[in-house]
Amino acid sequence: MIRVGIMGATGYVGSELVRILLQHPKVELKLLASQNHIRCKYNSIFENFKKICEIKCVGNTLESMAKEVDVIFLALPDGISSILVTESILEKVKIIDLSSDFDLSSEVYKKWYKTEHHNRDLLNKAVYGLCELKRESIKKSTLIANPGCYSTCTILCLYPLLAEGIIKENSIIIDAKSGITGAGRTLNLEFLFGECNESIKAYKTTSHRHTPEIEQQLSELSGTDIIITFSPHLIPVNRGILTTCYGKLKNNFDYEEIKEIYENYYFYEYFIRLTKKGVFPETKFVKGSNYCDIGFTIENRTGRIIIVGAIDNLIKGAAGQAVQNMNIMFDLDENMGLKTIPIFPT
């Protein structure tokens, strides 16, 4: 059994990690850390775990947790993991970090986060944990940078086309929409029901921190410098990511040719589902699951391809992908504990 600890266990992502890992046949959920709920039973914080999880939350340090478990999930706000994780800790335990602390190079991190990175030496050691694309590197790593939700959906949508060099690298526009849980489980005026309900808004246009993450990974994967236009939106639903990606095709392609490219890259990927012609992904059909649905169409009039992707931001965009990374790191079946069928209707 893999002994597991979670820091930040009482956030939205933390609770999804608990839910998934309690059903994982090879996991012993040993430590749940939460600075705000020390000594509280987990099912007293989340009623959905009644009769299921009576583990008491602790306020342990990462150093003390590392002595008791095999892997630790860090579901913490940005800027904390890079302070806590050290080389000595990584000699004792594997770390899967769900913040953005190890996603970017130090120069890019400083530019977008307006601060120096707290542990630049570990940036080269961290592996970007987009499972379908970095599987072999993940297997060998002790420090995983779990990708962001927007980044996961966008990169999976665009990667085959960029890898094959069939869309113009400077033509990519991404219109993305997220449910409110993407903002985390904190009190914030702009995310209150009365502020969000019956409204859709763009936010952090040109400045969202997933922008450099997407650019850095697509550039690395395609071997070409990629600059994108990324516009995220907040929509009044609890969970889900829908990305619509636009790119200019370099030559004339028909639907079947593009379909063959996607199938060559993703046909054997358990968690990626390609929709039929004329059918586009919807968040309601991935909700509660680790699936990423992708569909596309070609606009012959403009020479553009339009790719639509959908994931659950808390699962494939966070906790589910983190468990998928753990499975790879411990040489388990990649879908172990993650075969939940999407919930519909909701």
Cα→Cα distances 336→2, 24, 25, 210, 246, Å: 13, 7, 8, 28, 34
Contact (CB, 8 A) for 93 and 72: yes
CB 274 within 8 A of CB 338: no
Other CB atoms closer than 10 Å to residue 23's CB: what's the count?
13
Cβ(256)–Cβ(272) below 8 Å: no
Active site residue 149: yes
Catalytic residue selected from 53, 149, 157, 292: 149
Q: How many CB atoms lie within 10 A of CB 169?
A: 18
Q: Residue 256: what residue type?
A: E
**Cis peptide bond upstream of 232, omega within 30:** no
List strand residue ranges (DSSP E) for 65-218, in order.
71-74, 94-97, 127-128, 143-145, 173-178, 201-202
H or E element at residue 13: helix 12-21
CB of 28 within 8 A of CB of 11? no
**CA neighbor of 299 nearest in space, from 255, 261, 243:** 255
Q: Which residue, chain included where needed, has tokens 């060099």?
A: 165
CB neighbours of residue 237 within 10 Å: 17
Distance CA 248, CA 125 (A): 35
Q: What's the one-letter identity of residue 31?
A: L
Rg of the chain in Å (alpha carbons) = 20
Give CA–CA dist 286/263, Å, rounded.
20
Note the helical H segments in 141-209: 149-163, 193-196
Q: Which residues are catalytic?
A: 149
